[in-house]
Amino acid sequence: MDKGRSGTRGWRVVLVVCEGLRADWVRPPTMPFLAALATRATVFPGARAVFPGTAENFAACLATGTGPASHGLYPPAAAWGELALAATGAQVPHAAPAPWARSLARRFRERGGCVVHAPSSAPAASILASAAAAAPHRAHHPVAVGGDAAAAVAALAERAAEDVRHRAGPALTVLWLAEPGRAGRHHALGGPEHLRALAAVDACLATVVAAVEAADPHGRDVLLVVTSDGGLVTAQREIALEALLVEAGFKSAPDDTLLLAVPTPRSVLFFLHPAARRHRPHLLVFLEEEDWVGTLYSEDALRRVGLAETGAAGYGLAAAVSLRHSPRPNAHGIPGGGDYIAGTGVIAGAGCTGGSAADEQHALLLVRGGAFPAGARPTGPATPMELTATLLHHCGLPCDGLEGWPLQTRLLTDR
């Protein structure tokens, strides 16, 4: 069944992605403009990130409209590639080609192309930009101006606003903001540096929204979407995973490749070599007894969170883990924290993500324009895959091959 709509009207989409922005941080004291915008937009309280909760996984789901089992980009891609190389002696491609052949940017080529505005420090945004490579597009990757995050996001916002102001601009404009995620990963959540980053994002959103409302005062043609890839929690306790696996006898040494543990800061995917698959029951028992394991996924549970049990080079995904989460607030009163994996670049006391805890999964999603009325609060979860379908549906493009229905249909069922 075709989930798109017919028509050739000049619909356009402006998509703003704020890395690491938890929906509960959008409040008048911290982000007054965005909080006000939410009152005159449709907000999806059930918006959730994907698991493992990384910006790269979110970007791949958004670019392809499919979950990780289909797009094949298990995070972090670079780490998996290095481990597979060590295990097999040859580089093993692991991205599933089919969804990428019809990426979001490629689908938009017949409606005027795609623009991706992103800082060079946002590798997740490069996934969208790379997917746009075969479509008419322009991608800007400015380096942060003298380390001034506020100036950098302001420059990006102005470039995105310029695209919106031009009547002959692209059908899809993407503004990818590495803030407040970057600040949150380097400083305490709710601290002065983090709050400055939130304020900078709020200011740049005002610039973009002003351009959208000037171009389409009645909100009929330009669909504005502000979303995030999930939220950050405070890094509380470091877990030396490789040492634990060696001590438990699952690895003879940290570089033993019979078991590959592919971590994000707050999640781990465990891949077993075919010669070691008999150890899966013992691995599951071990993980069930570890206090740093918050949620353990195996078999059917893996499929429910969108993960495939097969991997590259014959490896099988034996289990996935989201690390222990605690509701305890940090020194600035920001609730949510937990354990994190050593060697993943986490700064103790700062923010981190990757797991499936509610704070990490609490993504922002608000939509203004098109079929989305002010003040609506549709119920139920909303995924990045459904967002992909929503953008395409607004522009009259088919949504075949996607793993989600347009959110416009949610408005009808909620009436």
Task: Break the chain into its structural domains and give their ranges.
Answer: 12-231+362-413, 234-352
Burial class from Cβ neighbours inside 10 Å (0-12, 13-18, 19+) for residue 39 reads exposed
Average confidence (pLDDT) over 152-161: 91
Report how far residue 368's alpha carbon sits from residue 14's, in angstroms, rounded to the nearest whole number.
Answer: 10
CA distances for 274 relative to 259, 277, 314, angstroms: 10, 5, 6
For residue 132 the two structure tokens come to: 């746009």
325-376 pLDDT, tens digit per residue, is 999 999 999 999 999 999 999 999 999 999 999 999 999 999 999 999 999 9
* pLDDT at residue 311 in the model: 64
For 234-352, CATH gives: 3.30.1360
242-297 pLDDT, tens digit per residue, is 999 999 999 999 888 899 998 999 999 999 999 999 999 999 999 999 999 999 99
Report how far residue 212's alpha carbon sits from residue 367's, in angstroms, rounded to the nearest whole number.
Answer: 12
* pLDDT at residue 90 in the model: 37
The one-letter code for the residue type at 214 is A
Give the angle subtended at the CA of 58 by the CAs of 108 and 69, to the nearest 5°: 95
> Which one, of 365, 366, 364, 369, lies nearest residue 213 by Cα?
369
Q: Tell which phi-psi region holds residue 113, choosing left (phi > 0), alpha (psi between -120 and 50) or beta.
A: left
Question: What's 127's DSSP letter?
Answer: H
**pTM higher than the cut 0.85:** yes
Per-residue pLDDT for 128 more than 50? yes
How far, in whole angstroms, is CA 75 from its chain's centroid?
A: 11
Answer whether 12-231+362-413 and 234-352 agree in fold.
no
For 12-231+362-413, CATH gives: 3.40.720.10
The model's confidence at residue 160, banded by pLDDT at 50, 70 and 90, is: very high
Burial class from Cβ neighbours inside 10 Å (0-12, 13-18, 19+) for residue 278 reads exposed
For residue 333 the two structure tokens come to: 């009163």
Q: What is the mean pLDDT of the chain?
A: 86
Helices (H), 216-308: 241-247, 280-289, 300-304
**In contact, 370 and 394? CB cutoff 8 Å:** yes
Which phi and psi (to 5°) does residue 121 adopt? -90, 10
Per-residue pLDDT for 304 more than 60? yes
